[in-house]
Structure 1
Amino acid sequence: MEKSLGFIGAGHITEMLLTKIVASGIVNCDNVFVSDANPERLDWIGDKFGVRKGKSNRKVFEKSDITLICVQPRIAPFVVEDLKGEPVEGKVVLTIAAGVPMEAYESIGEGLAVIRALPNPPSQVGCAIIPYAMNRHVTEEQRATVLEVLNLLGKCIPMNEDGISVVTSLSSPAAVFLFLDTMVEAGVLCGLNRKDAVTVAHQTVYGCLRLWESKEGKTFGDLIADASTPGGVSVETLYVLDRLAFRGALKEAYLKGADKARDQGGKRD
């Protein structure tokens, strides 16, 4: 990639991205600029990754083709205000994990290309789902370049900005871990030792996903039917879950989560 990258904010997500960028070699570290309000943190990031330390947010923005704004939502408006008046031609702002709508960043300068993305926590292991939205000023070349960076974290899917709030709710690992934890507790209740219950829960979920991937064209509903022998154990289990409104509870939970994400501007907890 023959582009320069700037990071405003040297927190966890910047550290994670730099780790993957350096490992992949997609950008020369001489073309990476970082700024942060904490000089000690900035020095640490600069020394660890060999990237260039910016004297200010404006300097980082000035030197970068793509500027990633990786700050807390409450800080983002101050960053936007700081950058106003800078030339924006040919530049892209990529906002990550910030609960601020794209229109706020557009106020930096008329015609600024803005992409908003929100990776979920599995980005730590390169398995994130990353919904992203972009404004009308983003060119195809700019989109492709930004996706080259985001793809280091996982799988990207384009959508409108409201869709990011929906995916924020649906992609939270908390409910998935709750389901796995409940499987373990159920196994213990039925007489398994905890270690075996953990192994069974993990391998069952992992195996189901691999099975689905191997069955091209089949839906999850198709696989439920395939696994449900008439009068069998699975049918009995599904009957109890239906009687206790398992599906309805999940839908309501994700619906409320999406509403909460909209209220917070789409930011993750």
Structure 2
Amino acid sequence: MFEDLTLAFIGGGNMGEAMIHGLIKKNMVDPQQIIASEPRTERGEELAERYGVRFTTDNVEATTEADLLVLAVKPQVLEDVLPEIRSGARNCSLVLSIVAGVPIRAIADGLANPYVVRAMPNTPARIGQGISVWAATPEVPEDQRKLAQALLQALGQEIYVRDEDYLNMATALSGTGPAYVFLFMEAMIDAGVHMGFSRYVAEQLVIQTMRGSVEYAAASGEHPAVLRNQVTSPGGTSAEAIYHLEKGNLRTVVARAIWAAYQRSVGLGGGRKVSRLAGRHPDQNGDDEGDESD
């Protein structure tokens, strides 16, 4: 599928490396088909040594050679990168952006190239266990969409959506989601240490419990509420623990955190803050207090 194509990665951070790793591990491309453009020489040399890809510190050089361009930079630096690579990028057959929050049209206009796909992967992509949500401009032909899909499948699962706003939602739910999981794991490990386990044993218990629970949920096909009820006996330890989690408003805190991440994603793209979720802002209790629409 990628024969005779040159892939240029603008940005060699974690997600860019994850994609490079997945493409090479699955033998989808030869390492020399990839150019990694990275401003930090030591980081670029590390990628070149680890994967056998070509490396440059010159974004223009990388873009000029590219058939397929991957934008993997921080949103804060994109406004400087787009004008720099515009002349080369307009000739690329496909641009894939994994820049958080930045709308497709901003990329297409900034590069004078209508063939743009925007995706939101997450960090488990580094081990091929990620999930990416993606959308494309109407101009992207079917063959190029298949290329984008194949690129994202190198990271794990992928879901195509027509409405680009779902990418901001995915940023808050799955893109940022690993951070929520890691924080909960950290809290469980600390509780285990507080009870008397060594940190090493507490980490083993928590990591395998998380891993096993996720695999069991995926295999069962049951709703998480059903699975939770299966392990919650009346008057038992699970019931006692869940009582305190609910008393501490765990669901509300999680909902507000994800909502805040969604608003931040919209803000990174220059959009207005969204003041309603399913018709109501999560902080609203029947009035307009806390409405951020103005």
The TM-score bracket by the shorter chain reads 0.7 to 0.9
What amino acid sits opposite 2:244 in the alignment?
V
Query: Shift in Å at residue 221 of structure 1?
Result: 1.0
Normalised TM-score (structure 1): 0.83
Alignment of 1:194-233 (within 5 A): 194-216=199-221, 218-233=222-237
Report the counterpart of residue 184 of structure 1 in structure 2.
189
Alignment of 1:8-27 (within 5 A): 8-27=10-29
What amino acid sits opposite 1:168 in the alignment?
T
What amino acid sits opposite 1:222 in the alignment?
V
What amino acid sits opposite 2:213 in the alignment?
C
Match of 2:254 among 236, 247, 250: 250
Report the counterpart of residue 266 of structure 2 in structure 1.
262
What amino acid sits opposite 1:166 in the alignment?
M
How many residue pairs end up in the alignment? 265
What amino acid sits opposite 1:213 in the alignment?
A
SS at match of 1:189: helix
Q: Which moved more, 1:70-79 or 1:233-242?
A: 70-79
SS at match of 2:134: strand
Whether the 8 Å CA contact 1:84–1:107 is kept in 2: the answer is no
**Judging changes above 3 Å, is the alpha-carbon distance between structure 1 residues 42 and 227 closer, same or farther for their aligned structure 2 residues?**
closer
Alignment of 1:53-132 (within 5 A): 57-85=59-87, 88=90, 91-108=93-110, 112-132=114-134
Listed as ranges, the gaps of 5+ residues in structure 1 are: none
Whether the 8 Å CA contact 1:118–1:131 is kept in 2: the answer is yes
- Return the alpha-carbon distance in structure 2 between the equivalents of residues 117 and 197 of structure 1: 36
**Judging changes above 3 Å, is the alpha-carbon distance between structure 1 residues 105 and 220 closer, same or farther for their aligned structure 2 residues?**
same
- Return the alpha-carbon distance in structure 1 between the equivalents of residues 89 and 73 of structure 2: 22
Q: Calculate the aligned-residue CA RMSD, in Å.
A: 2.9
**Judging changes above 3 Å, is the alpha-carbon distance between structure 1 residues 91 and 237 closer, same or farther for their aligned structure 2 residues?**
same
1:165 partnered with 2:168: yes
**Judging changes above 3 Å, is the alpha-carbon distance between structure 1 residues 242 and 112 closer, same or farther for their aligned structure 2 residues?**
same
SS at match of 2:186: helix
- Return the alpha-carbon distance in structure 2 between the equivalents of residues 45 and 139 of structure 1: 31
Query: Shift in Å at residue 14 of structure 1?
Result: 3.4
Whether the 8 Å CA contact 1:8–1:68 is kept in 2: the answer is yes
Listed as ranges, the gaps of 5+ residues in structure 2 are: 271-294
Normalised TM-score (structure 2): 0.77
Identity across the alignment (%): 29
Q: Which moved more, 1:58-67 or 1:114-123?
A: 58-67
Query: Shift in Å at residue 55 of structure 1?
Result: 9.2
Whether the 8 Å CA contact 2:36–2:56 is kept in 1: the answer is yes
- Return the alpha-carbon distance in structure 1 between the equivalents of residues 109 and 263 of structure 2: 26
- Return the alpha-carbon distance in structure 1 between the equivalents of residues 72 and 253 of structure 2: 34
- Return the alpha-carbon distance in structure 1 between the equivalents of residues 129 and 82 of structure 2: 30
